Each structure stands twice: as structure tokens, then as C-alpha cells.
Structure 1
Amino acid sequence: MSSAPGAAASTPPVTTPAAPRVHRPRRAWARTLLHAYTWLVIAFVLVPIVVMVVYSFNQTPNGRVTLNWQGFTTYWYAHAFGIADLTTALWHSLEIASGSTVIAVLLGTPMALAMGRWRFRAKPLSDLLVFTDIAAPSVVVGASLLSFFIALNVPQGLLTILIAHVAFELAFVVAVIRARVSGLDRMLDRAAADLGATPWATFRHVTFPLILPGLFGAGALAFGLSIDDVIITNFVAGPKLTFPLWVYGAVKVGIPPQVFVLSTYIFLGGLVLAGVNALVARRNPSLP
């Protein structure tokens, strides 16, 4: 049955006019306040470091740091290692920081991979232990480690300092690397397996390059935590001195300018580590 001509004419679509755009005034004062707050925080962090660097060039007739400017000199940089005990304490700190960082990253990487990728019954307990270690006060950690070493009759020294630093760095390393691992796409592993890669080849060519910035970041954090620790180290050091412990003891009689010089060197070393970490993160492929 045919319809009448023109009866099936299509109805033109009804268009709804777009809602008018609401022009919200820009809050310039909020942006200015945010910028000012940011620069205040940066200044709060950097001003003490700048003061330390500046006064490392100050002349001090009595060989003790003073806030009275006596004149510019590079004498203390030429004699930065003139105090034997201070130099030995610095080398102790560098050795312990380097060793504990390597051990903590080696132990923390498999833990972070397991906690970030797999589900297992003890995972909630593992999470609790990691974050409890991060939140635990340093006094509690130091006292518990001291009790542990005394119970095992372990003599206090560089070995106990190393073990203690690995113990409290490990949780931070796991947290940093786990954050990187959690963002990885598991389809990359499956694609590598489909192409015939073994689990070790997949880790070496796929997973490791992607988590490398996390490893550098975790290592830099662990190194910084180790080299400036005072409380935990003071519990387990015994007769040995690290750089922070030496400085802590010297405060009572006056700090020699070499402390500012060596602290400046440590700060510059931290800048180098931060630059290397930023370079690795920039050259590394971004997370999917």
C-alpha cells in the first residue's frame, strides 16, 4: 500500500541552542598568594643552606664558626680535611650511607615488585609493617635496635650502624619503588611473553628500564636519610663516630669552619644526585 505523496517528508532535526558560557572572573589574588607561599617555603628551606655556604668563607680567628663577618677567605677549603677525627667521621658516614643504600635498594626492589603487582594473603600485613616502620619515631627504632643487638651480644660499631640504617631505609625504598611499579601496565609483560621473552628477559628489557627512575629516587632518599641520621645512629654507634654525631658533639664547644665546608661538599653531592635522577627520569620512557 503506497502512501500519499509528501506524507513521508522527513522532519528537520530540532537543535537546542548551546548554553551561554559563563565567564568566571580569574582570581588573580589566589594565584599570587600561591606563588608567594611557594617561594616562602623554598626560601625557608634554602636560606639556612645559603648561610652555611656563605659563612664557610668567613675568617674565624679562633677557629670556631661565628656569625660576625670577619672577611672573605678560602683558607678553610684548602684545609677542609685538617681535622683528622672529623675527616674519619665523614668517611664513616659516606661508607655507611653508600653501603646501606645499595643493600636497601637490592632488598627493597623485589619487595616492591611483589607488593605492587601481586595479591597474596600476607599483603595487608606487609603494607602495615612497611608504613609502621615509616611512621615509627626514631627514638623507638633506635632503642629497639639497641636492645636487639644487646640480646644477640653484637658489639656496637660500623656493622650495627649499617644494619640499623638498612632497617629504617628499607621501608622508604619499598614505598618509593612500589609507587613506580603500581603504574606499570601488566600488558607489557604479557606482550613480551607472547613474543617469547623469558621472565628474566622481560624484567631486564621491559620492567627494569621503566622502574629505573624509581630506583634512583629511592636510592637518593635512602642515602640522604642515612648520611644525616643522628638519633638512631647514636643508639647503635658505640665508640664509632659519624659526621652528624661528630657535629652534634662539637656544638657544645664550638663548631669549626671545616664543618661548614664539608657540609657544603655534601650539599653539592646531593645536587649531583638530584640532577642524575632528573636526567634518568627524563630519558626514561614515560609510564603508560
Structure 2
Amino acid sequence: MRATRPFTWRHTPGLSAFTAAILVFLYAPLLVLVVYAFNSNRLVTVWTGFSLRWFAVVADNQDIRRAAFNSIVIALVATVASTLIATAGALALERGTLRGGRSVVSAMIALPLIVPEIIVAIMTLIFFSLLGMHNGLFNLMIAHTVFCIPFALLPVQARLRDMGGVLEEAARDLYATEWRLFRRVTFPLLAPAIFAGALMAFVVSLDDFLISLMVSGAGSTTLPVYVYGMMRLGVTPEVNAISTILLLVSLVFVAGALLLGRRKTVDQ
């Protein structure tokens, strides 16, 4: 009797072509946007030659610089705060005494990843309104911090599960205090995951639009919100230039997070 060859999805007919079509559909618009950011023509879709003109225009625009400064400040504050909270939360979930409620707490922390962002933005706006908080920049820092916590927590929590508790128990057997244990054993092992989570949190905060649109006030406009305001008058070369800069920054930080995660895997 002839043996039946086991089915593998990689040998599905047409899978390669279908995958290539999906990738083209997803990334071709990004490529077009980047290419036309270097177009010297004022008309977005008419190519007349290579130029850095629109990047210079963006750099000279005071409103764009102010919006970019707001985005960077908010992202930095949200990254530091969310990373500290996420690291403490991951340690509490994986090394703490919490038992029955661990799954509930984990689900609550991951809620921003599940709930549509528009709902999170609306509820955040309602929450600040009920408290009478109308400081746009400060409100954005709080909102971005809360939204970024799951992105910073997941890599740290996964790393804690992978490393186990053998080394920490060995340090306790050698009479190490909890602070010395964290400083000399736990933190060095967690550092790649912490930095990877921080990079992801920074990218999420820098690129966020819906929460920033709902919560921001006068003088606290972020760069994605400013770009949205520009696009209401039509797509211009300046929009392409700003979008290209945001895309490149995001790619750099995401690549850094992936490299840190790969380094963690190699170290194991």
C-alpha cells in the first residue's frame, strides 16, 4: 500500500503567489509614499525629479516642530513610566504571591490590546472630563502611559517565564537580599526584554492618533494629529515627508526591539 504523504500547508498550491500579492497590497502604498516624499513637484502624483525640498520645508515649519516636540516629550514620559510599571507588574505576576486573581489581573492589563482603540480614547476623555482635568499635555502623558503598559509588560513577562526561578533561588540560598538579588541577577537577565518593551512602548506612543486626537487640547497637538489636520486639505508633499520620517523612526525602533529579542533568544 502506497504511503500517504503528510499534508503541510507550505506546499499549498498558489500559496507563494497569494502571499506575495498580500505583501504588495500592504506595503506598496508605503513605498509610493516614501518615493513621492522626494519628489520636487508640488503635485503629489506627478514626478519631476529627486529633491529634499519638502523635508527642508517640514524642518522650517514651526508648528510641525512644536507638534513633533510634543510627541517626543509625551512618548519619552510614557515610555519611562509604562516600562517601570510594566516591569513591576510582571515581577508581581510571575514572582509574587498572587494566585487566584492572576488571570484576572493579566486580562485587565491586556485590555487595551483587545478593546478597540476608539473606545479606549472615548472612555479616557470621559474619565478626564469627570475629574475636571483639562491639561492636554499632562492628560496625554497619563493616557499614553496606560495604553503603553501592555506593550512594555508582555516581553518582560515572557522573559520571566522563560528564565525560571533557579538562579534566583540559588542567590537566596547564598543569603542575597531581595534588592541585591534584583540588581545582580534578575535585572541583568531582564534587561534585553525591558529595553525591547520600552522601544515598543515608545513607538506606540509616538504613532498614536486616536487617543491623542480625543485627549489633546490647545497647545498639546501631537505630530500624528497635526498630519491629520493637514490631510483634511488634501495630501501634500509635506505630508509625505512627515509620514516618511515617522515611518523611518518607527522602523528603527521596531528593528531595535526585534534585535534585543533575538539577542535574548541567543543568550538562552
Q: Which amino acid aligns with 1:172?
A: F
Aligned to 1:252: 232
Aligned to 1:191: 170
Deviation per CA, 1:194-216, whole angstroms, max 9, x where unpaired? 23432222222322222222222
Find the partner of 2:184 among 181, 186, 205. Answer: 205
1:280 aligns with 2:252: no
Alpha-carbon separation, structure 1, partners of 2:258 and 2:62: 35
Structure 2 SS opposite 1:238: coil
Superposed displacement of residue 278, structure 1: 4.1
1:269 aligns with 2:254: no
Alpha-carbon separation, structure 1, partners of 2:192 and 2:71: 25
Query: Alpha carbon RMSD of aligned pairs, Å?
Result: 2.8
Deviation per CA, 1:43-70, whole angstroms, max 9, x where unpaired? 3443222212111111233xxx622223
Conserved? CA contact 1:99–1:162, under 8 Å: yes
TM-score, normalised to structure 1's length? 0.80
Q: Which has the larger radius of gyration?
A: 1
Distance 1:142 1:279, change over 3 A: closer
Alpha-carbon separation, structure 1, partners of 2:4 and 2:128: 67
1:43 aligns with 2:21: no
1:118 aligns with 2:77: no
Alpha-carbon separation, structure 1, partners of 2:9 and 2:94: 41
Aligned to 1:170: 149
Structure 2: runs of 5+ lacking an equivalent:
none
Structure 2 SS opposite 1:204: helix
Q: Kindly report which structure 2 residues correspond to 1:1-288, keeping only aligned pairs within 5 A, or say none.
A: 24=5, 30=11, 33-61=14-42, 66-120=44-98, 121-239=100-218, 240-284=220-264, 286=266
Structure 1 SS opposite 2:133: coil
Distance 1:44 1:213, change over 3 A: farther
Structure 1: runs of 5+ lacking an equivalent:
1-21
TM-score, normalised to structure 2's length? 0.86
The alignment covers a number of residue pairs equal to 266
Higher helix share: 2
Percent identity for Structure 1 against Structure 2: 33
